[in-house]
A and B are shown apart, each in its own frame.
Chain A
Amino acid sequence: MKKILALVLALVMCLGLLAGCGPAPVDPTDPPAPTGPNNPTNPTKPNDPKPTDPTQPQKPLAGTYDIKVWVAAEIVELTQQQIADFNTTNDQGIIINATVEAVGEGDAATSMTTDIEAGADIFCFAQDQTARLIQAGALAQLGVAASEFVTTNNDKGTIAAVTSGENVYAYPLTSDNGYFMYYDKSVIKEEDITSLEALIAACEGAGRNFSFELENSWYIVSFFFATGCVSEWQTDPDGKFISVNDNFNSEAGVIAAEGLKKIVTSPAYVNSSATADFEAAVPSAVVVSGTWNYENAKSILGDNMGVAELPSFEVNGKSYHLASYNGCKLMGVKPQTDNKRAAALNQLVQYLTGEKCQLERFEAKGWGPSNLAAQASDAVQAAPHLVALGKQNAYSRPQGQIHGSWWDIAKLIATDIKNGGEIQTALDTYKASMEALFQMSDEVLKAWTVIGTIGDSAWANDLAMTEQADGTWKSNEAYAMDETSEFKVRQGKSWSNNYGMDDAGNPVLDGPNVTLAKLGVAAGTYYVVFDPATGAISVVAA
């Protein structure tokens, strides 16, 4: 009878299984896409008006679209209103039926990378998440016209934020993610606000704190950029980081760290950027923070609130003005499988990030626009926090793309120095961990590799090739191939430079996959040979 139990158990489990994978095995052998990577699909809707479809002339995008949108909680209603406006004003006949949900800029990237399928079609995120989202495959690259729309209408910093390699991946939404200084006028005298040393002394003297979130990499650059250090990352078009130009571990870096030491070792130092610190049990007199805290600081300090650009610090008799990062918020579109839908979504986002909507957000919530025309408007020019940010912007640098691990690396400089560590040791550690991020040498970047369904590649592992005397590259091993085998040859383990083959056997940059049929050989074990000069791919029997 125990056996019967086993049976019942098994049955129940099967039912669970069926329920679980009922919808799962969508036959992956029949994708809606063509065979090779980057092989453009045949457009189902040609651009020219179809004479046979007289009801919708010139409006290939007309239709109703059910979409999901994620924006910050405070602009949910505004966004609903703006989408409704879009439905009435657009001349393409697009009707957007949107579910707008409140998912903050900080959470959106996490939610998208956790589960892209269930993620929103349109979502907002902070710019430091761009590379992560591209790498996760959660951002659709913009087409030519859309890219141009972004680059002509927005300020330079935000353009850098949405670009990876040459490709544009998102639309700028704001350009106000920088930081400057809030201070309490009852404690800090006007003449002290330009000097870090004077500010620290004033705080210590008054028994007040100095809030500066230096154990956060975003704020620590303030000192390093001030002394002329750089930390710039290069990405390839797929969002991968190729190299970094970073000299924090240099003479200038040591000077910066000296300045940093002054504040982090002060008893007044608090690692925070919350303006509520003005009202903490041990209240702060200075808080370095951004525009998002303007209303809060104002309601706490009232008339005593001072807003100013960051101060300067002095090392070896020379003065350095604290710098900052200048960041922004972005709006992105999830990769789609339907051309028409993708195009309609892009139309909507262009509207939502256009001049009109950015000004509406500025008026309703004080969000500083990225759109050049909106920035030029009088109202924006007169906003006090944006003015302070504008002054600080003279010393700020655009954030661009930053490697995700860097955020955990750079902040350790401050922690280390605060704990009494040697400056040079802290910087050496920093440099060592930066170098560890790039184990991919130049050699690897230049090398050609085979990738496909042969060997243990599985379109994920690159199979090594070696350069021959005649300038061609030959795979190190021979691989068993049959009629179903497909592969391509690429450089630097990246798809930015790869070769395929057309049906006639001619090499095509970024072309369809290579098969034995195209090569005109039978199944067998072959070496792959590639000629970078012509792009020609051939096989040699083992």
Chain B
Amino acid sequence: MKKYTDLEYLQLPKWKRLVYTLVCFVCAIPSGIWNFVKKIFTAVVGFFKAIGTECADIYFTFVNGDWKTRVSFVVMGFGSIARGQILRGLLFLAMEIIFVVYMFAGGAHWMGQLMTLGTRGPEKVYDPIMDVYNTYYHDNSFKILLYGVLTIFFIVGLIFTWRINIKQNKISQQILASGKKLKSGKDDLRSLVDDNFHATLLSLPLVGILVFTVMPMVFMILVAFTNYDSLHNGYTNNLFSWVGLESFNTMFNWTGDNVNYSVTFGEILSWTLIWAFFATFTNYFLGMGVAMMINKKGIKWKKFWRSCLVMTVAVPQFISLMYVSKMFANNGIVNGFLLDMKWISEVLPFWTDVNWARVMVIILNVWVGIPYLMLMVTGILMNIPQDLYESAKIDGANAWQQYTKITLPYMLFVTGPYLLTSFTGNMNNFNVIFLLTGGGPNMTDVPGVLGAPGETDLLVTWLFKMITTSEPAAYNLASVIGIMVFVVVAGISLVVYNVMPSIKNEEDFQ
């Protein structure tokens, strides 16, 4: 294909630019992949090189170190304490002590069982004297996996700290050798609110994210490679164990005897994408329209209109959406009203017919979603320089032209990133689907698939059903779905980054 220069590119009509960008993107994929592989290769090589350098450094630190340094190899922080940096030293030491205590208190035990996830299930025992059956529990696969993973996190952390401890000794030694003074504990503390203030600010949020977001995600990704479900709950009935890619095989098997999962997955994924597309853009344009109406010069009671509409934002969705879902039921008040008015002769199957249900969730999502957009657009509209419109008017542009030439491009440029987040957010829009249809009506062409998938189910509601209402609850399959949601979202984001210039040119995607 022909490469355009910048000048040629700018002369192209808009749609051609987009096509060009898309084609460029597609053409760039092979080389992109190649670059990616190369990058990984370089990274791996670099990693081993770095380890080599580190090892060499550790070795020389030991060889060249004084006795304080050498003791620090075993007793962390010893060097620092001996050289007067009590605070640092104590922190190192505390870390080591906690680690040792933790390992003895159970860490080592959990680690050791990580490969098997437990060997001994519960035992049911009959006691003839009391005439009762008792159950004795032994290994707990769930905890082994959970605390095993935590222990690995911990060990990595310790190795990292140990390395820092060694480096500290080396640096201190050098500083002292050059005749300078070491930083005192006071200096360290002061730097926490000044030079290293960012570290102070980030420490708490990051610990929270590590423990309550990263760790669960790592765990759940691992679950995809086990047979963890409610028949193997790891403790009270059967232990679960590693099964490799079996769950992925179940989910994406499209040649074997049971293709129902892959068919269901395909159907739900395509509906999820269709839904996300319509949910995002109907909200976007209608919200913009409503905002422009309210903000038009000469329209009064702006605050009143706005306040009425934002009711849907303020009232919790489980109340409003639950009620609306009942209103549109086959014997609900909407159908009753239409029948009374003789506008229809038979009830409209709002939730029981596939097409109706799909259209209805999109329409009702507008009801919930427009106010957010309205609030946001209101602010942006005020930011558009008014003289743009004035000069457009002088040039004789009508309102539609003003909209397409000024308002829309400005909005698109400013809200580009928002559109992307909104799209991925809608892919995971649990509340609207779950509260309105519960995923229904049922899919009839894929029998035997766990989680009773329905025609309006999104991947995320299907995942939820798999965990809660499915019988048996298939945590491993749910985990596979979760991973696939990630892959899809990440893929879309990647494409959009590369195609949409306004996002790409941001300092960061934030």
Residues of A participating in the B interface, judged by any CB pair closer than 8 Å: 1-18, 20-22, 24-25, 27-28, 31-34, 36-41, 43, 45-47, 60, 110, 113, 116, 132, 135-138, 140-146, 207, 209, 215, 267, 270-272, 277, 280-284, 335-340, 342-343, 346, 404-405, 407-409, 411-412, 415-416, 418-419, 421, 426, 429-430, 432-433, 436-437, 453, 456, 458-461
Residues of B participating in the A interface, judged by any CB pair closer than 8 Å: 88, 91-92, 94-95, 98-99, 101-102, 105-107, 109-110, 116-140, 143, 147, 150, 153-154, 157-158, 160-161, 164, 167-168, 188, 191-192, 195-196, 199-200, 203, 206-207, 210-211, 230-233, 235-241, 258, 329-337, 339, 346-347, 352-354, 441-442, 444-445, 447-448, 450, 452, 468, 471-473
Pairs across A and B, CB under 8 Å, 23 listed: A1-B191, A9-B206, A11-B98, A13-B211, A14-B98, A28-B139, A31-B138, A36-B123, A37-B125, A47-B129, A135-B472, A143-B132, A272-B331, A280-B329, A282-B336, A335-B236, A342-B130, A343-B130, A456-B241, A458-B116, A458-B118, A458-B119, A459-B239
A18 and B211 alpha carbons, distance in the complex (Å): 13
- Return the chain B residue nearest A281 by Cβ: B336
**Chain A residues within 8 Å of B448, by CB:** 405, 409, 432-433, 436-437
Of B236, B354, B471, which one neighbours A137 at CB under 8 angstroms?
B236
- Return the chain A residue nearest B334 by Cβ: A281
A3 and B167 alpha carbons, distance in the complex (Å): 10
Most buried by A among B129, B160, B241: B129
A-B Cβ contacts below 8 A, count: 274
Contact in complex: B336, A280 (CB < 8 Å): yes
**Chain B residues within 8 Å of A31, by CB:** 136-138
Q: How far is the CB of B266 from chain A (nearest CB, A)?
A: 18
**Chain B residues within 8 Å of A6, by CB:** 160-161, 164
**Chain B residues within 8 Å of A418, by CB:** 352
Q: How far is the CB of A241 from chain B (nearest CB, A)?
A: 11
**Chain B residues within 8 Å of A338, by CB:** 134
**Chain B residues within 8 Å of A5, by CB:** 196, 199-200, 203
Contact in complex: B444, A429 (CB < 8 Å): yes
**Chain B residues within 8 Å of A22, by CB:** 105
Contact in complex: B232, A40 (CB < 8 Å): no
Contact in complex: B127, A41 (CB < 8 Å): yes
A135 and B105 alpha carbons, distance in the complex (Å): 33
Q: How far is the CB of B461 from chain A (nearest CB, A)?
A: 15
Contact in complex: A136, B203 (CB < 8 Å): no
Q: How far is the CB of A301 from chain B (nearest CB, A)?
A: 16
Contact in complex: A14, B95 (CB < 8 Å): yes
**Chain B residues within 8 Å of A412, by CB:** 442, 444, 447
Contact in complex: B337, A13 (CB < 8 Å): no
Given the known inter-chain contacts A1-B195, A433-B447, A458-B239, please indicate yes or no for A140 contacting B123, CB distance below 8 A.
no
Of B99, B123, B352, B452, which one neighbours A38 at CB under 8 angstroms?
B123
Q: How far is the CB of B454 from chain A (nearest CB, A)?
A: 10
Of B133, B237, B450, which one neighbours A141 at CB under 8 angstroms?
B133
**Chain B residues within 8 Å of A437, by CB:** 448
Given the known inter-chain contacts A7-B95, A116-B236, please indicate yes or no for A33 contacting B136, CB distance below 8 A.
yes
A416 and B339 alpha carbons, distance in the complex (Å): 26
A258 and B410 alpha carbons, distance in the complex (Å): 61
A207 and B278 alpha carbons, distance in the complex (Å): 36
Of A18, A136, A282, A404, which one neighbours B98 at CB under 8 angstroms?
A18
Of A10, A17, A43, which one neighbours B150 at CB under 8 angstroms?
A17
**Chain A residues within 8 Å of B98, by CB:** 11, 14-15, 18
Of B88, B131, B196, which one neighbours A144 at CB under 8 angstroms?
B131
**Chain B residues within 8 Å of A142, by CB:** 133
A57 and B335 alpha carbons, distance in the complex (Å): 72
**Chain A residues within 8 Å of B195, by CB:** 1
Contact in complex: B130, A282 (CB < 8 Å): no
Q: How far is the CB of A276 from chain B (nearest CB, A)?
A: 10
A18 and B102 alpha carbons, distance in the complex (Å): 7
Contact in complex: B124, A335 (CB < 8 Å): yes
Given the known inter-chain contacts A25-B105, A459-B119, A460-B239, please indicate yes or no for A4 contacting B471, CB distance below 8 A.
no
Most buried by B among A24, A27, A408: A408
- Return the chain A residue nearest B351 by Cβ: A271
**Chain A residues within 8 Å of B332, by CB:** 280-282
Q: How far is the CB of B479 from chain A (nearest CB, A)?
A: 17
Given the known inter-chain contacts A14-B99, A141-B133, A282-B331, please indicate yes or no for A267 contacting B346, CB distance below 8 A.
yes
A342 and B238 alpha carbons, distance in the complex (Å): 22
Contact in complex: B130, A43 (CB < 8 Å): yes
A271 and B442 alpha carbons, distance in the complex (Å): 13
A415 and B439 alpha carbons, distance in the complex (Å): 14
A408 and B240 alpha carbons, distance in the complex (Å): 25
Contact in complex: A3, B164 (CB < 8 Å): yes
Contact in complex: B125, A17 (CB < 8 Å): no
Most buried by A among B132, B158, B333: B132
**Chain B residues within 8 Å of A436, by CB:** 258, 447-448
- Return the chain B residue nearest A409 by Cβ: B447
A116 and B137 alpha carbons, distance in the complex (Å): 12
Of B206, B238, B444, which one neighbours A421 at CB under 8 angstroms?
B444
Q: How far is the CB of B338 from chain A (nearest CB, A)?
A: 10
Most buried by B among A27, A36, A339, A411: A339
**Chain A residues within 8 Å of B237, by CB:** 135-137
Contact in complex: B207, A9 (CB < 8 Å): yes
**Chain A residues within 8 Å of B239, by CB:** 458-460
Contact in complex: A405, B471 (CB < 8 Å): yes
Give the top 7 A-B pairs by smallest Cβ distance, nearest first.
Answer: A281-B336, A25-B106, A404-B471, A433-B447, A143-B131, A33-B136, A335-B135
Contact in complex: A339, B241 (CB < 8 Å): no
**Chain B residues within 8 Å of A335, by CB:** 124, 133-135, 236
Given the known inter-chain contacts A5-B196, A132-B471, A135-B237, please indicate yes or no for A282 contacting B339, CB distance below 8 A.
yes
- Return the chain B residue nearest A119 by Cβ: B236
Q: How far is the CB of A36 from chain B (nearest CB, A)?
A: 8
Given contacts A38-B126, A40-B127, A113-B473, 6 further A-B contacts (CB under 8 A): A10-B158, A24-B147, A37-B125, A280-B329, A342-B133, A437-B448
Given the known inter-chain contacts A13-B211, A137-B236, please indicate yes or no for A32 contacting B129, CB distance below 8 A.
no
Of B134, B154, B471, which one neighbours A337 at CB under 8 angstroms?
B134
Contact in complex: A432, B447 (CB < 8 Å): yes
Of B121, B126, B168, which one neighbours A459 at CB under 8 angstroms?
B121
Q: How far is the CB of B142 from chain A (nearest CB, A)?
A: 11
Q: How far is the CB of B263 from chain A (nearest CB, A)?
A: 13
Given the known inter-chain contacts A10-B161, A14-B98, please indicate yes or no for A24 contacting B236, CB distance below 8 A.
no
- Return the chain B residue nearest A208 by Cβ: B331
Contact in complex: A461, B134 (CB < 8 Å): no
- Return the chain B residue nearest A334 by Cβ: B135
A280 and B327 alpha carbons, distance in the complex (Å): 10
Q: How far is the CB of A488 from chain B (nearest CB, A)?
A: 12
Of B134, B188, B452, which one neighbours A41 at CB under 8 angstroms?
B134
A90 and B94 alpha carbons, distance in the complex (Å): 57
- Return the chain B residue nearest A209 by Cβ: B331
**Chain B residues within 8 Å of A34, by CB:** 125
**Chain B residues within 8 Å of A271, by CB:** 330, 352
**Chain A residues within 8 Å of B150, by CB:** 17, 20-21
Contact in complex: A281, B447 (CB < 8 Å): no
Contact in complex: A136, B236 (CB < 8 Å): yes
**Chain A residues within 8 Å of B164, by CB:** 3, 6-7
Given the known inter-chain contacts A40-B128, A284-B331, A409-B447, please indicate yes or no for A25 contacting B207, CB distance below 8 A.
no
A408 and B451 alpha carbons, distance in the complex (Å): 8
**Chain B residues within 8 Å of A405, by CB:** 448, 450, 471
Q: How far is the CB of B342 from chain A (nearest CB, A)?
A: 11
A412 and B471 alpha carbons, distance in the complex (Å): 16
**Chain B residues within 8 Å of A32, by CB:** 136
Contact in complex: A143, B133 (CB < 8 Å): yes
Q: How far is the CB of B102 from chain A (nearest CB, A)?
A: 6
Contact in complex: A45, B130 (CB < 8 Å): yes
Most buried by A among B101, B233, B336: B233
**Chain A residues within 8 Å of B240, by CB:** 460
